[in-house]
Structure 1
């Protein structure tokens, strides 16, 4: 029996995120067991930026619930993340977990290629903001095989399944987990390197044709162009100098680069201190009053 790990980034019990995860699970064709984690309930503390998780035993020094999540992610056969939209972005519990992402590199060999899908849920159509981008980033940066993401709408608990769009999205994600996704909509411009569909437009910088625009993929950070070929928009992106997850080799190389930063810091420590000392007494820190 396979295990599906459902990461629910909503504090609302029996809300749309929880119900959608369970609907995807019910639509899986094979023999699966569903394990659930409600991220807002966990004690996931801010990253200390100490880099200790990249060396030695490669374990975070903080004593919180991160190890529990990592264990479940490693042992799962598939991962499904569901996030509600809060002020045009995903609930902060998802980012709080992703901020501890350096710890994922200790499990790169077990996480790489693991089937994973996600959904962003918004209460008002068109007001999902950057929630889907956060879902896409999460699925890529946990080093999994990102097989699909959806945006569905529903404000009231259970509303997400009251129209045809929600069940159809659940059906597509269930199929993607087991059999990979169908070919993406050809009418939606996507990054040819990572499949991302969210872009930032950049200044022209020497591009002459009026139908060409420079852009950067917000999922993998690769730069390229958007061009109208007469029938559709075409995105062309090029690998940057420091790709994070386009291939397994990229992920391993990025882990090695992160580890090399320790030696670089020690080498330039005095030079760096010379810069930071000048700012030591600038400004006044505001802190809550002590009882």
Structure 2
């Protein structure tokens, strides 16, 4: 029996993200085993940037719920990740989870190939921001096989269900988790590698800030189009992951250890500047 895991990054009970997640999971069929995790209920602490977790056989030493979550993703055959858009980006628990990927990057082979869909909900048509593209990074950095993602309008709880097209679309995505031949329909003006619709400009080049794919504007008759040139070793390939998590990060760790005394001397003039404040203790 296939195991489907739903991860909902919202504290709203029966909110739009939860409802669409359940609809997508239901569409995988009655013969699948379903489990859901409310990400906001987990105790996932901030990354300490200590680099102790870089070896592939060493888990993060922070004692919290991260390993529980990763174990559930390992055990799943398919994953649904959903979050609302808060102030242009995905709900904060997603960002805290992503910040812990330092301990996951060189262990991503444990999650490789599991089909995944990402669902983003938003409550204002001009406030979608970068939320869907950022939510998709959760699947990308985990090395899941992101087969589809989409954004759905709904501000009030259950408002997303007022549009029958939303249910139809999310059920299509859910069925895709069970269909090895499922192919997402690409959208105009998005990165062909990671599907981001955000770009920066370096001279004449268009650059995707998420996967670093480069492209350019080209005139075709009366139209101007973006043309991209994907690399075989972009950030989310095995080679790209190895370059960052194994080569680069470990080189920075060795550099730090070699220059530790030097860095401490640089810190020294600021060590006595103790201006930190804390809120008063509550009764």
Fold agreement, TM-score > 0.5: yes
Equivalence for 2:196? 197
Q: Which moved more, 1:259-268 or 1:109-118?
A: 259-268
- Higher deviation after alignment, 69-78 or 165-174: 165-174
- CA RMSD in angstroms comes to 2.4
Matched, 1:229 2:220: yes
Matching residue of 2:2: 2
Structure 2 stretches lacking a partner, 5+ long: none
Aligned to 2:72: 72
| Residue pair 1:53, 1:106 contacting (<8 A) in 2 also | no
**Contiguous gaps of at least 5 residues in structure 1:** 208-213
Cα 1:238–1:279 shift into 2, 3 Å:
farther
Match of 1:32 in 2: 32
The alignment covers a number of residue pairs equal to 279
Runs of 4+ in structure 1 displaced over 4 angstroms?
A: none
Name the counterpart of 2:268. Answer: 277
Post-superposition offset of 1:181: 4.0
Q: Secondary structure at the match of 2:34?
A: strand
Q: Do the aligned partners of 1:8 and 1:38 also contact (CA within 8 Å) in 2?
A: yes
Report the alpha carbon displacement of residue 280 of structure 1 after superposing the two structures with TM.
3.0
After TM superposition, the score normalised by the length of structure 2 is 0.88
Q: Which moved more, 1:159-168 or 1:74-83?
A: 159-168
Task: Name the structure 2 match of 1:155.
Answer: 155
Equivalent residue for 2:208? Answer: 217
Measured after TM superposition, the shift of residue 78 of structure 1 is 0.8
Picking from 251, 265, 275, the partner of 1:260 is: 251
Equivalences for residues 113-192 of structure 1 within 5 A:
113-179=113-179, 180-185=181-186, 188-192=188-192
With over 3 angstroms needed to count, the CA separation of the structure-2 counterparts of 1:278 and 1:200, relative to structure 1, is farther
Which of structures 1 and 2 has the larger relative contact order (alpha carbons within 8 angstroms, sep 6+)?
Answer: 2
CA 1:287/1:36 → structure 2, altered by over 3 Å: closer, same or farther? Answer: same
